[in-house]
Each structure stands twice: as structure tokens, then as C-alpha cells.
Structure 1
Amino acid sequence: MQIRTRSAVLAAAALLFLAPAAFPAAAQESASSRLLGTYVVPHDLRVDGTPVGGLSSVDYDRRSGDFIFVSDDWSDHAPARYYRADVSVTERGVEDVTFTGASLFRRPDGTTYPAIDIWRGAVQKKLLVDLDEIGVPYTDNVEGISWGPLLPTGERVLLVVSDNNFSPNQQTQLIAIAVR
């Protein structure tokens, strides 16, 4: 009986410790934007036989409504590629994310690019939204950003992507922000 009680107390303590991770943080706002929600891409997700990771760029295709994510893999884990994804964002938040396909970048002769171990120089960046200020619970290594559709509220979706560097210790995360 005593062992059962101790196990129940430990289980309850673990639940209290893990509960914040299971529920989204309360939405916070700044004068110019509010957090719509986040989505963590599963670390072992594969699309068309390629590992999804290294997402460092994002763009929105208004014709199809898809978001396009470029992997900065440099052909180490799979050939250089980009992904299409249906990211369902409403004024209530990120409702669903489905990666619908992977496409390989090809050279003029039709072959894929070889692995490259030289990185490009940094790009100048300007702060548009402070993720801490709007209540993003956790993120690291943010690399990609794209404007998305207009919401019925008149706000514009800004989708941000963080890169996990193919590491199980980091997250590939999509962050949807409503910008006024």
C-alpha cells in the first residue's frame, strides 16, 4: 500500500511538471501583434523519403495556399530540397500542419546538388516581433519567416520557422503570429 501511494505521488508530481508542455501558453499580445500558436514538427518526420529538418526559409504561395519550406541540409542527409505544407491558421491559432511533398533542387543538367560544407555569410536582420513579448513558450534557432494570408480580423499571418539542425535536442517549430 505504501509503495502504491509513493508511486501515485510521484506520478502526480510528474504530471504537474509536464502539464505546462501539454497545454499551450495563454495568448499574449503586444501593441502590434499577438501569438496565434506554435507547432513542433516531429523530429523523425519523413516526407517522400527525406528527413524534414534544417528548415531555414519559408514562403507563402498565394495561388495554392501552401507554405514552402527550404531545408538548409546542403545534401548531407538527403539531396537539397524544399517542402510544401498545408498550414491551417485561423484567428484561433494553428489548427493543422500537413507536409504534402518534397521537391529536389536540380542543376541545369538535371542532377541533384552534391553535399557542400561551406556556409554562406550572414544576412542582416531587423526585429519585427519580440517572441518573448507575445508569449512564445520556447524556441531556438529561428531562421525562416514569411507573410501568410489575411485573417478575417484584418490581421496578417506571419509564419516563422525554427531549425532543429537535425538534432534530437532541438525543435523544428512553426510559429504563427497575427500582425496588426
Structure 2
Amino acid sequence: MKILMINGSPRKKGNTQLILDLFERLLQEHVGISQDIITVSLREKVIELCHGCRGCMVNSEEFCPCKDEVKDIENKMKKADLILIGSPVYVEDISGLMKNWIDRMAYRCHRPFLNGKRVYLFTTSGAKASNHAIRTLKHAFLAWGAEVIQWDNYSMGIRMEAEIARENLKNRLRSVYN
């Protein structure tokens, strides 16, 4: 099973990476997946701002004037069996990095490419986890053809406190694979 984890945080060792690292350990220890786990950190990728020219919508994404790494991420998504997406919550929504990447992938709303591929979404927040941020992610991935794995009413918002109850968190994360 090929798993792609996408980190939408600008922080190198922030809470979103902490949760992705925990996912990876759980996959290795409890599910038996030890290879084929790739992490993409959006902060390390060159992703230009969308020019709004509509060239990708009208003609093809090949006509996009942005020459960046969006297609590389898209190709990794196509190869993955499961995609985990994490973003910190900024002003009750996803990070600017994540939003910019989603905006650059807007052409995929008209040409879905994930075709039922399973995607698990989560957000991290110092206060309350934002349902709005989860909905932003969910709408993008549904438009791209993904099957969004649900936890409760949405996917999962994780309230990051000084000390995380790791066993409780591990049990919640295990539910993704059952």
C-alpha cells in the first residue's frame, strides 16, 4: 500500500508534523506498513500563486504559466492508495500554504483525478479545531473525486494542548484503518 502524507504547515516541527509522524509510527507498528510512506511538506515545495488566467480551465493545465512543483505533488497523489492531509488552523481555516496549493489545483475540479481514492483529512489547532477548515479541505478533495474518510461528522480536528493524551489520540487515529 502506497501512502502519501501532505503537510500544509509552514512550521518544520509543528503540531501538524507531530500528528503525521504519529500516523507513520502507527502505520509501521500496528498496520504493518513499513515502506511506501512518502511525506510532502508544502513549505518545501515551490508553488506559485495562481494568476487567474483560466488557461488551465479553458485549454489544459499544460497551458498554465506557473512553472512550479504542483504537477509533482499531483503525480504522487495519483500513485498513492491512501492520502493523509494535515493543515494547521489559521483564522478558522486552513493555512495559506494549503489554500494556495488547492487554488493551483483548481483545474482538477473540472477534471477530477482521484476517482474514489481514500483521503483522510485533519487539522490542528491550539484552541478549538475548526470545522470550517475541515470543510475547506473536504470540498476540494470531493471535487477532485476522492472518497473522504469520515470521523464523526467531519474528518478530524485535533486540539493541540500542552500535553496530548497520546493513547487517546492513537485510538482515534487507528479508526482510520478499520
Task: Assess same fold via TM > 0.5.
Answer: no
Q: Greater share of strand residues, 1 or 2?
A: 1
Q: Greater share of helix residues, 1 or 2?
A: 2
Q: TM-score, normalised by structure 2?
A: 0.23
Name which one, 1 or 2, has greater alpha-carbon Rg. Answer: 1
Report 1 or 2 for greater relative contact order, CA contacts < 8 Å, sequence distance ≥ 6. 1
